[in-house]
Structure 1
Amino acid sequence: MDHVSTASVSRDPLSPVALLEDFSLEMTGKDVPGLEEARDRIPAGTRINVTFLGNEDPGMRLAAAGAVRRFGFTPVPHLSARRLRSRAELADVLAALRQDGAADHVFVIGGDPATPHGPYDDALTLIRSGLLQEYGVRHVGVSGYPEGHPAIAGPALWSAIEDKTAALARHGLAGDVITQFGFAADPVLTWVEALRKRGIDTPVRIGVPGPAGIKRLMTYASRFGVGTSTSIARKYGFSITNLMGTAGPDRFIRALAEGYDTERHGTLKLHFYTFGGIGATSRWIADFRAGEVA
């Protein structure tokens, strides 16, 4: 199977296309057919995060991670701390991932439940459990929120990311930060610069909303507390009065590239939230890389 080559991509840090080197994608357990259809448009080895959704059973998530590996990509299964009922359940999940060759990389997140189902209050307690490296995990992704979190105050968010990156270092685990998606480059770059000033030099993957219907984009943005409808429309360049169209992230990526300074921002890559449209996202990326997106 032939995959897209990355050899021809410019390494100019100010090039929008250069930001697409080593991008990552996100999918759910239900997206395996879409991934199979899109596999020839995605560079070999691309990291593909498999989300932890409450309405998908562990078998579906495990099967998705295994499919990512079989198709020649790097699976990054999500571990939702507050949904884990016990240390034994975490061990079982990690053992199953290791057996399927999908345990090298994981992404840890607190998760949606307000009350933990078990002993893990947040991503930090999961990292501190010691089980990750015991079951072969080598690389851990953690979350970042450039525009804040609807349920967590700013100072607490900064403390959390400092504690998580410090814990990863103490446990000998490599890591990166994946940010929540946004629609404006300036808050993202300002947040990354503040992160670097706090001494955190971990690579950052900037969350990018993949191409999707405008109504769908705004629904997801509202769910995750990303701005207001009016501000989203203004920043992303579409009309709030026409919700039937489709918007892509080209304006956002170009603005990121224009403001990106390696000395101030360090290592930045892109992470695409596909909203169930991994095929559409992979096509958009291929077109953008080929210079076919205006």
Structure 2
Amino acid sequence: MAIVQIHPNWDKPPAILTHGYSLEMTAKDKPSLQDAAPLIPAETPIAVTFLPGEDAAARVAATVAVRELGFEPMPHFSARRITSEDDFEGYLHAVVREAGVRRCFVVAGDPPEPQGPYFDTMALIATGAFERAGIKAIGIGGHPEGHPEMTVEQCWDVLTRKVAEIEARGMAPLVVTQFGFDPDAFLEWLAELRRRGIDAPVRLGVPGPAGIKRLLSFAARCGVGASASVLRKYGISVANLLGSAGPDKLVDAFAAGIGPQHGRVRLHFYPFGGLRKTVEWIADYERRQGQA
């Protein structure tokens, strides 16, 4: 299948959970990626986000840099931020032509109303543009802690329909979750995903090491649960918000809790503290696990 062509180790359980991780970057992170590149394994999937204030040329350049550095680019497409069919297909064909892109990630985007003809991710997928461009895999979002604009059951219905639509078009679905601090919520969601018959590979979102205030700022912006009890699980005390925090406890909990019943699972890191700091943390974690 297409997902195996891109990631031959998806069906082989990792010796250490961080093996086979993926990363996220913005177009502005291109110099940081070049700096961190020697520490990142070859063919690591790296998503390039679709943010306001970054033009298509900058995103294409970042995607090309990912490929030239020996990694697997996965550009984002934000449906409601795309202004026209030409805007959509022009960007898609540019990243395929210039960076050899084989997989894309599709989100609805933050604007409440679309800036062009596409209201949501299904509208983009339904165009048929991805498979016509030779895309082999489509990433879609998962929300273990729920979505601010949908009920839990609506989230499951939308996710199920997206997976079915992607597969019907001959591509492989990949679910990448929002980041979070609560391993229990993620493991319960993952078990429910499999109970509902969705066997697509999943990447669980993990925040990279960063200042605590910065982590909480991103959590508030993204609607991530950050109650005092959840933060304690992660290793953060609300009485002391100075300093920084890493995902050690979260990743340890995933490693202890994930079993064969959870299907194909890897990690996706959101490097809020910087790409180099995140990949250094991963390398250090793997060294410690190898010595355990």
TM-score where L is the length of structure 2: 0.92
Residue segments in structure 2 that go unaligned for 5+ positions in a row: 1-11
Alpha-carbon contact 2:77-2:106 (below 8 Å) kept: yes
Identify the residue that residue 286 of structure 2 maps to in structure 1: 289
Please report the RMSD computed on the Cα atoms of aligned residues, expressed in angstroms.
Answer: 1.6
2:147 is equivalent to residue 154 of structure 1:
no
Alpha-carbon contact 1:35-1:278 (below 8 Å) kept: yes
1:52 and 1:12, CA in 2 relative to 1: closer, same or farther beyond 3 A? closer
Alpha-carbon contact 2:211-2:273 (below 8 Å) kept: no
Task: Say which of 204, 208, 211 aligns to 1:210.
Answer: 208
Q: SS state of the match for residue 77, structure 2?
A: strand
Identify the residue that residue 268 of structure 1 maps to in structure 2: 265
After the TM superposition, which segments of 4 or more aligned residues of structure 1 sit over 3 Å from their partners? Answer: none
Q: SS state of the match for residue 220, structure 1?
A: helix
Identify the residue that residue 57 of structure 1 maps to in structure 2: 55
Task: Say which of 222, 225, 238 aligns to 2:223.
Answer: 225
**CA deviation vs aligned residue, 1:150-183 (integer Å, no higher than 9, x gap):** 2222121111100110001100001210000111
Alpha-carbon contact 1:104-1:139 (below 8 Å) kept: yes
Alignment-mate amino acid for residue 223 of structure 1: R
Identify the residue that residue 277 of structure 2 maps to in structure 1: 280
CA displacement at 1:229 relative to structure 2: 4.5
What is the correspondence of 1:124-203 to structure 2 with a 5 Å cutoff? 124-203=122-201
Distance 2:199 2:254 in 1: 19
1:276 and 1:62, CA in 2 relative to 1: closer, same or farther beyond 3 A? farther
TM-score where L is the length of structure 1: 0.91
Alpha-carbon contact 1:27-1:276 (below 8 Å) kept: no
Query: Structure 1 residues 240-249 or 46-55, which shifts more?
Result: 240-249
Residue segments in structure 1 that go unaligned for 5+ positions in a row: 1-10
CA displacement at 1:125 relative to structure 2: 1.4
Distance 1:231 1:58 in 2: 41
Distance 1:199 1:238 in 2: 35
Identity of aligned residues (%): 47
Distance 1:22 1:175 in 2: 17
Identify the residue that residue 7 of structure 1 maps to in structure 2: none
Alpha-carbon contact 1:76-1:102 (below 8 Å) kept: no
Q: SS state of the match for residue 108, structure 1?
A: strand
